[in-house]
A and B are shown apart, each in its own frame.
Chain A
Amino acid sequence: MVERNTFRLMLLILGVVFAFLYIPISVLVGLSFNEGGLPTAWTGFSVKWYGALLENDDILQAAGNTLVVAVFSTVLSTILGSLLAVGVEIRRRNGKWLETIIFAPMIIPDIVLAIALLSFFSLLGVAMGLHTIIVSHVVFNLAFVCAVVRARLKSFDWSIVEASADLGASTFTTLRRVVLPVLMPAIMAGSLLGFTLSVDEFIIAFFTAGAGRSSITLPMQIFAMIRFGVTPEINALATVVMAVSVVALALSQRLNRGGLPGQ
């Protein structure tokens, strides 16, 4: 009897926590389809607010910038992060300082890295724009790619590398023909994760974008819009951004059945 009551209590807790987690975003998604656009009354299903997004030049420009930043930073961090992961795992015995440096980008608070990069770029006299956002995003992205690829390498059978070398393959050939195919799912998963993180990243982009509207990204645009209050357009935009993240994450999970990074 006690067991059954405990189980019911557990279900209740799960219900409350999941409601807390999902009601706010569900309301947002629901309202984005409300024809009238106001939270006060449901006036019918409509996608007109999504249409409005496509006619808003500011949003389109920001979306374009975000895509450029995400694609370039993802490509760079995928290459750097994967190589780093393979190197670190071959080496095995890595000093504590090395592990700390590789792990640091994931735990350094965004604001610290953001102001550090802002001061760095301005003291060097670097003109800021999309390029500075890209190189800054690579810093944390490569750490995440590296973590995902390393997780995969933990279960990697290194004897096939030795076999490949014994059969006369050069190091490069072994990497390309033996290691890379095995790692491909993890590399893809890591790069998708990096892509999501870059699309969503706000603080570092905000500090390293420089002045002016030309290098504004989607999160920066959303931040600017939110400060003026609730509009049905933001609801629609927020839903789109959320959908992109969820799809990319789901794909990443499917490719790499090793669980969520950080686990």
Chain B
Amino acid sequence: MTSDRRPLILMTPALLWLFGLMVVPCVLILALAFFRRGIYGGIEYTLTFENIALVFDPLYFHIFMKSAGIAGLSAAIACVLGYAAAYAIAAMPRRHQPMLLFFAVLPFWSNYLVRTYAWIVLLNREGLIVNLARWIGYQGELPSMLYTESAVVVGLVYNYLPFVILSCYAPLSRLNPDIAEASRDLGASGWTTFRRVTLPMSLPGIATGFVFVFVLSIGNFVTPALLGGGQFQMIGNLVYAQFLTANDWPFGAALSMVLILVMLGLLMLQAVVAERASGGKGQDG
């Protein structure tokens, strides 16, 4: 009887911490979205849906869609590269795989700002790529590479690629080689086996990777600020501005709320994909 209560005592301090400093503040953000902005930037406690409506105002909705586009493109590129890398690692001799995986993920654990800065070093007007082009003998004017949308996409792909490799490797490493062999014995070509057997079975890993990159990219404000150079805004920058410069917290909260809903929706979708994959194993054929 008492033994049932003991684990709760161990858990209480941490759970209180998470409740007080994560759950309550997040609920607060949701509540803020329904209040009015005061004249001098404070918060007026009258209920309103104006902030939510403003998110869907063409001006801001455009930024939302653009962020989604950039996040989607980054996630798609990261998934193609990451899946190819994970597939290649899984095709290597088993004893080398942990080492390869470790080095694929290692950059992920270094500082995000540093990794983003590395691309400024490569892409800036006096950067390595421009110098390399000159050295090869290219004399003409080079298009500016830094402070563009492509630079932001490259930065996002670079930063999150290790995670996609990790998430794609998990199902690939569990793949039973006998299944692929059976498919080949039954006359399927290598490509057909890949397309009809290997790829569907690794779908949960790809979905996890895609959702992860998308979710982290759409709300990102560091990469657009550094590699986009303030040339264009993403939703993260807009949220940032509402809280730190424009001082319109209710609108910032409304933007965040929509952002959270999009993220939650995607995470649920990913859970469904994972469930389908584990539940439907026997039926696909």
A residues at B contact (CB < 8 Å)? 2, 6-7, 10-11, 13-14, 17-18, 20-22, 24-25, 27-28, 31, 38-40, 79-81, 83-84, 86-88, 90-91, 101-102, 104-105, 107-109, 111-113, 115-120, 123, 135-136, 138-139, 142-143, 146, 171, 196, 200, 202-203, 207, 219, 222-223, 226-227, 229-230, 234-235, 238, 241-242, 245-246, 249, 253, 259-260, 262-263
Contact = CB atoms under 8 A, between A and B. Distances in A.
B121 A40 contact: no
A226 B113 contact: yes
A18 B18 CA distance: 38
A192 B28 CA distance: 32
B13 interface: yes
A104 B243 contact: no
Contacts, number: 235
Nearest to B23: A101
Contact of A39 (B111, B121, B260): B121
Q: Is the interface of B mostly helix, strand, loop or mixed?
A: helix
Q: Which of A22, A38, A117 gathers most chain B CB within 10 Å?
A: A117
Contacts of B145: none
Given A14-B92, A109-B215, 15 more contacts: A10-B87, A17-B88, A84-B11, A84-B15, A87-B8, A108-B22, A109-B219, A116-B256, A119-B253, A136-B21, A142-B14, A202-B111, A226-B226, A230-B126, A253-B102
A112 B259 contact: yes
Contact of B112 (A40, A80, A105, A202): A202
B178 to A, nearest CB: 17
A115 B114 contact: no
A6 B190 contact: yes
Given A88-B7, A111-B219, A111-B240, A245 B111 contact: yes
Given A39-B128, A203-B222, A241 B114 contact: yes
A86 to B, nearest CB: 5
Contact of A245 (B110, B165, B236): B110
B127 interface: yes
A112 B25 CA distance: 10
Contacts of B180: none
A13 B107 CA distance: 18
B109 A104 contact: no
Given A105-B22, A112-B26, A142-B17, A219 B113 contact: yes
A93 to B, nearest CB: 10
B273 interface: no
Contacts of A14: 85, 88-89, 92, 100
Given A24-B158, A119-B25, A202-B112, A18 B104 contact: yes
B269 interface: no
B226 A227 contact: yes
A200 B128 contact: no
Interface of B: 6-11, 13-15, 17-19, 21-26, 28-29, 32, 81, 84-85, 87-89, 91-92, 98, 100, 102-107, 109-122, 124, 126-128, 131, 158, 161-162, 165-166, 170, 190, 215-216, 219-222, 225-226, 236, 239-240, 243-244, 249, 252-253, 256, 259-260, 263, 267
Contact of B7 (A87, A119, A234): A87
Given A24-B119, A40-B131, A142-B14, A246 B7 contact: no
A91 B6 CA distance: 9
Contacts of A21: 104, 107, 158, 161-162
Q: Which 10 pairs across A and B sit closest by C-beta, in order of nearness?
A: A87-B10, A116-B25, A87-B11, A84-B14, A24-B118, A120-B25, A87-B7, A10-B88, A80-B14, A17-B85
Given A21-B161, A81-B14, A119-B28, A10 B22 contact: no
5 contacts: A14-B85, A24-B122, A38-B126, A111-B239, A112-B26
Contact of B17 (A108, A138, A229): A138
A13 B170 contact: no
A27 B132 CA distance: 13
